[in-house]
Chain A
Amino acid sequence: MKSRRLSLGQRLTLAIPYLWIAAFFLAPMLLIAKISLSNSVLARPPYEPRFLPSDTLGDIWAKIQTLTFANYRALVGDSLYFDAYVSSLFIAGVSTLATLLVAYPFALAMARSPRKWRPFLIGMAAAPFWTSFLIRVYAWIALLRDEGLINNALMALGLIRAPLEMFATTGAVVVGIVYSYLPFMLLPIYAALEGQDASLREAAEDLGASPWQVFLRITLPLSRDGVIAGALLVFIPAVGEFVIPELLGGSDTLMIGRTLWNDFFANHDWPAASAAAIALVSILLAPLLLWERARLREEERRG
């Protein structure tokens, strides 16, 4: 596409959101990229080197030479950070899979419901997404604690003698993520299933396919884009999640969002935290690019 010049009014319209994004998103991101290259001393901000408007080219070059990759090397060397990354990716992966297993039948049941019921069902399923995330996670504490409702109910029924250890475990974090992010997985899968042509399934049945075969060879493959979109919408925020592991996880549940938060607020090691943040974003770029590719493919398909 050939780019064109904009009129004055158009440029003004564009300038306002652009300036906001530049000032409060792009500049801060560049700043933490720079801080991540500063020396990790227990200093107070601002971190050296500082670039000033009065700097000559020589000054800038001299300052650039003081930048260091030590924080990134420390990330690789520091087993705490490395373990936090690995454990975050693992927890996010398991949670994404669990969310998919819960969401797919649910979405399928909604998509196969009578047409007039579908807007109501999808509204009901999406509504919790609008209610406070913090409160929804908090609600699980009352369910999962040793003296919580699940343990009490199981003990009252005589199924268990001692309370199951559910709260403050990695499993609780997974349950929290599945619960909180379910709508993100549900909606794209529902959209993909709802748009499917029923005559394809009927044709397969006419040709003698069992219901299971119809599902595996028609329904599932045709909903692939919805599954990919949903998986990424769950996986990406789950990797950087802070609230859920903080409230439901135990002290041994290691996740990068939590580690980052502690480094920043408790240890005040801004350069190390910045380097960890930049590394986290870089790790998340890979699934994002995959997502973008899937999205473009879908746009092409829809024309």
Chain B
Amino acid sequence: MSNIFRIGVLIAGFVFLYAPIAILAAMSFNASRLVSVWGGFSTKWYAALLENEPLIESTKISLAAAVLSAVIATFLGLLAAVALARFGAFRSRMLFFGAVHAPLVLPEVVLGLALLSCFVALGIGRGFATLVIGHVTLTMCFTTVALLSALRSCDLALEEAAMDLGATPLQAFALVALPQIAPAMASAFLLAFTLSLDDLVIASFATGPGATTLPMRIFSQVRLGVSPQINAISTLLLGLVALALGGSALVMQAGKRRGL
């Protein structure tokens, strides 16, 4: 590949990836309501957001659900990854492995439908709790995969040495393996957090009238057309995710510097 051609392809690729996002962010500062007309720089759409009670309420619900479900999903993913990486060939390993990975490839509409049918059959009222359950079920397969690959690249000999020196398996894991996979835990948490914050389909099935998430509210407004307020909230969300990404990159680098 000649250099000029290579650089041209890279530029074209990155323009394709970033131009729509950049235009969206620029539009959020457009004083004009019309996409096609630049009415001058303005932050009035951001100011309007602050007065939009339902939107703020949904943002709070989304953030709370994302934090809570990411904590639970990281914990469950850690246990599942430990079982798959450390327990050898236990009975029902294949079923466990398949069940852990299946939601990765299942259409979200199907998972949402199944969860809703289940809640209704069991008579569980839908709301914040079922929203978190849905998001944990969706994201724990991602955290499991991330943590499984981290655990597999850990040096087992270190844990064995700790056990030879008298540590219990639990001590050896907590004191030797866990610090090694701490950066992976952080990125698994962030992955689950952003997936939950982003999710529309599972939330629509799993939540009740009291707990409308931010994507659900955005979605219902987007159907009515492009609105500058949605551009503003989208830009804020993009900024939030960029911060989370930068944070995880820093965590990873700090981990590397410590030689982990």
Contacts and interface: CB of A to CB of B under 8 A. Distances in A.
Interface of A: 1-7, 9-10, 13-14, 16-18, 20-22, 24-29, 31-32, 35, 45-46, 102, 105-106, 108-110, 112-113, 121, 123-125, 127-128, 130-136, 138-143, 145, 147-149, 152, 179, 182, 236-237, 239-243, 246-247, 257, 260-261, 264, 270, 273-274, 277, 280-281, 284, 288
A24 B88 CA distance: 25
Given A134-B219, A243-B200, A9 B13 contact: no
27 contacts: A14-B83, A14-B96, A16-B76, A17-B76, A17-B100, A20-B76, A20-B137, A108-B1, A108-B9, A109-B1, A109-B9, A109-B10, A113-B10, A130-B244, A131-B238, A132-B215, A132-B234, A147-B36, A148-B35, A149-B23, A149-B36, A152-B36, A241-B107, A242-B108, A260-B110, A270-B117, A288-B105
Interface in B60-90: 76-77, 79-80, 82-83, 87-90
A136 B21 contact: yes
Contacts of B14: 124-125
Nearest to B121: A46
B219 A128 contact: no
Given A132-B241, A139-B24, A243 B18 contact: no
A277 B24 contact: no
Nearest to B216: A134
B47 interface: no
Contacts of A20: 76, 136-137, 140
A77 to B, nearest CB: 22
Dominant secondary structure at the B interface: helix
Contacts of B230: 138
Given A113-B6, A121-B10, A127-B245, A281 B198 contact: no
A14 B238 contact: no
Contacts of A5: 90
A112 B6 contact: yes
B118 A2 contact: no
B165 interface: no
Contacts of A280: 107, 110
Contacts of B107: 237, 239-242, 257, 280-281, 284
Contact of B114 (A17, A31, A128, A134): A31
B103 interface: yes
Interface in B1-60: 1, 5-7, 9-10, 12-14, 16-18, 20-21, 23-24, 27, 34-36
Nearest to A135: B234
A2 B89 CA distance: 7
Contacts, number: 231
B13 A240 contact: no
Contacts of B222: 134, 138, 141, 247
Interface in B204-260: 215, 218-219, 222-223, 226, 230, 234, 237-238, 241-242, 244-245, 249
A148 B237 contact: no
B118 A24 contact: yes
B13 A125 contact: yes
Interface in B105-128: 105-111, 113-118, 120-121
B102 interface: yes
Nearest to B96: A18
Given A13-B82, A134-B218, A142-B35, A240 B117 contact: no
Contacts of B13: 102, 105-106, 109, 125
Given A24-B133, A108-B1, A130-B194, A236 B118 contact: no
Given A21-B140, A148-B36, 12 more contacts: A9-B170, A108-B1, A125-B13, A125-B17, A127-B242, A131-B241, A134-B198, A134-B200, A139-B24, A142-B20, A142-B23, A243-B219
Given A14-B83, A128-B18, A131-B241, A28 B9 contact: no
A4 B86 CA distance: 13
B179 interface: no
B137 A6 contact: no
A237 B169 CA distance: 40
Contacts of B9: 105-106, 108-109
B162 to A, nearest CB: 16
B23 A27 contact: no
Contacts of B249: 123
A281 B103 CA distance: 11
Contacts of A18: 96
B118 A261 contact: no
Contacts of A152: 36
B76 to A, nearest CB: 5
A242 B140 contact: no
The 7 closest A-B pairs by CB, nearest first: A240-B107, A28-B114, A139-B20, A28-B118, A1-B89, A17-B80, A106-B13
B215 A281 contact: no
